[in-house]
Amino acid sequence: MTPAAPSMVFVIDDDELVRAAIQGMLKSVGLRSETFETAQEFLRSNRPDGPSCLVLDVRLPGINGLDFQRKLAEAGIRIPIIFITGHADIPMTVKAMKSGAVEFLTKPFRDQDLLDAIHQALDRDQGMRQEQSELSGLRKRYESLTPREREVMGLVVSGMLNKQIGFELGTSEVTVKIQRGHVMRKMQSESLAELVRMAAKLGVPPGKK
């Protein structure tokens, strides 16, 4: 297995003193970080593939933080965001949080409040990455099934018995039992309940390929 990349905190703020202060604070608690003056610099950077989060100033040159949050989502870049601003208002905060922001902090904020939000964001990103990894593995296992095995799997998770599946597919109960065994082995499932959960995660409709 490839060693997991260490966590990284990205900071985008046009104020050099703010960037330096946040980076120094993160270094003091053992967190790696990279800072950027603009959103465009962040997009042009080569970011490591590991758990990460973004500390984002709301008011940036060229594009504001809320618009950048939307653009990241549209581009499929899923990264937890912590907003920081010196000019917060309630509608702005509500919009950011509804769009998935982890926290919205008004300057000056306590270092501990930012650290708490960062740890929460990194945990969220780690969880999302774990889910994506598991789903990718499930898809690969499902793709290893033959078309008939996928049919059998769909009928099995719909709750049909081997005899009923055989009737549905025009084959013998023994053949269905063998194919069902292949499905369980290839999907690495130890029970029907587990197979049903796998089918749900994959979006496999019961009774269909």
Task: Determine the angle formed by the axes of helices 173-186 and 147-157, rounding to 10 degrees.
Answer: 90
Residue 101 CA to residue 94 CA, distance in Å, equals: 10
Cβ contacts of 27 within 8 Å, gap of 6 or more: 33
Quick one: pLDDT band at residue 76, thresholds 50, 70, 90?
confident
Cα–Cα distances in Å, from 79 out to 37, 70, 88, 100, 175? 18, 12, 22, 10, 47
What pTM, to 2 d.p., does this model score? 0.73
Quick one: pLDDT band at residue 2, thresholds 50, 70, 90?
very low
pLDDT for the residue 150? 94
Any idea which residue has 């023994």 for tokens?
174
User: Residue range 60-84: average pLDDT?
Assistant: 88
162 touches 177 (CB < 8 A):
yes
- Range with the poorest average pLDDT among 22-31, 92-101, 115-124: 92-101
